[in-house]
């Protein structure tokens, strides 16, 4: 595969917040993470407890993932590297997942995962086979 692929770093994000007597507003305003803007938002709910999801990577799509309720454990790794675990257990934490990063998730009971993407959905952007993904070094 091409060695010209520029990978960004998988990283934990502590979202800014505004707190007042009525609650806390968290927001995403990081153009450096998704410079093309947010082209798709998605959320995943009603996943049976301890079920795994994800198990794929994207060729071009980058995402920011946030557990707005419950706990979502995210394992992320780039080809040839060890997986790093992130525990999204507060709504002010998110994780940036750049393109060409394999992701697997595990949900606690009642967890809801919100995702922001820099791409519209395209099945051709998915890598769903781990062995194939590992060739992208």
Reported as a single tens digit per residue, the pLDDT across 56-94 is 999 999 999 999 999 999 999 999 899 999 999 999 999
Q: How high is the mean pLDDT of the chain? A: 89
Pairing of strands 126-127, 72-77: unpaired
How many domains does one find in the chain? 1
Question: Can you give the CATH number for the domain in which 30 is found?
Answer: 2.60.120.10
Has residue 6 been placed in a domain? no
| Residues in CB range of 33: below 8 A, 6 or more apart | 13, 62, 64, 96
| CA dist 101 → 27, 31, 59, 122 (Å) | 24, 20, 9, 16
Q: Is the pLDDT of residue 33 over 90?
A: no
Task: Specify the pTM.
Answer: 0.87
Helical spans, DSSP H, in 88-134:
130-133
Has residue 37 been placed in a domain? yes
Domain that holds residue 39: 11-133
């Amino acid at each position: 595969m091409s060695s010209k692929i520029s990978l960004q770093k998988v990283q934990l994000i502590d979202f800014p917040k505004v707190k007042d007597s009525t609650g806390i507003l968290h927001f995403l305003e990081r153009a450096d993470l998704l410079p093309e803007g947010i082209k798709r938002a998605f959320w995943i709910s009603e996943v049976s407890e301890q079920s795994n999801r994800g198990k794929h990577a994207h060729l071009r799509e980058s995402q920011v993932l946030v557990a707005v309720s419950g706990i979502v454990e995210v394992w992320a790794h780039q080809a040839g590297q060890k997986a790093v675990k992130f525990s999204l257990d507060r709504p002010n934490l998110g994780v940036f997942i750049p393109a060409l990063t394999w992701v697997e998730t595990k949900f606690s009971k009642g967890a809801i995962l919100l995702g922001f993407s820099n791409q519209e959905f395209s099945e051709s952007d998915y890598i769903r086979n781990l062995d194939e993904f590992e060739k992208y070094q």
